[in-house]
Amino acid sequence: MRTSNILAKLRTGGVARVCSTGAAIQSFPQHAQRAGFDAVVLDGEHRPWHAGDVSLMLAQAKLANVDTLWRTPSVEPVALSRVLEDGATGVMVPMVETVEQAAAVVAAAKHPPLGNRGLDGSWVDGDFGAHAKDAYVAHALAETLVVLMIESPQGVANAEAIAALPGVDVLFIGPGDLSLRLGCKPSLQETKMRSAVETVAAACARQGKCLGHPAKSADDAREVIGMGARFVMMGSEGQAVQQHLQACKGMLDGAGV
């Protein structure tokens, strides 16, 4: 059974490198691994995915030995447990605002005694039934990642209680949605935004959990790491395509085409 790159980094005080894709690009996990990333987020919140494409990407990620997080459009328990059984390292759940919502995610993602996830072990995450039940359950409890996205003032206000829940690993700031609801720009130079991130960071530190935050540049990454983030997300297929095509345009312009 595969162990989590992200959790290995977090347990040793390191910073996990995470990128994201909203499209089933089979080569993406290999490219991510070669670029030194620990994990790929499959964005099912903002992009449509067919179940077969999710399975294909999870298989490619396993071959590349990178973690996969399913950014889920649904917190329905069976939907979450199925993607974990199909090989996802963990779940990334948008717009978590209350302890009750967080507890429901833990219940769906974690086996007893932490949660209420149904037992299988005969599919990808259990090496198709190759392991004894107790060994499979212990491994799943230890290596399944739960990332909860804090994207509203209510989520910020409840960050301490959410972070205190056993089974929660990362509180990830979603600057776009959070800034929209705070009425400011999604920048740490904004007083409201910085205060919210500092509140969540302090809650994570007190509860021994990890702060997550996106970054768009080296300066961004240094700043959020300085604030306590050890789960840093940078890079996506959309950004890569735009940047590459703009670079090609520049070269063609330079050639007088």
Residue 213 appears among annotated catalytic residues:
no
C-alpha span between 240 and 116 (Å, rounded): 39
Report d(CA 168, CA 209) in Å as an integer: 7
What are the phi and psi torsion angles at 231 (to 5°)?
A: -130, 100
Q: Pick the catalytic residue: 46, 50, 111, 244?
A: 46
| Neighbour-count burial of 208, counting CB atoms closer than 10 A to its CB (0-12 exposed, 13-18 middle, 19+ buried) | exposed
Q: Is 102 left (phi over 0), alpha (psi -120 to 50) or beta?
A: alpha
Contact predicate 97/152, CB 8 Å: yes
Residues 68, 40: contact at Cβ < 8 Å? yes
Q: DSSP string covering 124-182, please?
A: GGGTTTTS-HHHHHHHHHHH-EEEEEE-SHHHHHTHHHHHTSTT--EEEE-HHHHHHHH
Residues 6+ away with beta carbon under 8 Å from 47? 22, 23
Residues 6+ apart with CB under 8 A from 8: 14
Cα–Cα distance for residue pair 186/192, rounded to 1 Å: 10
Active-site residues, by number, are 46
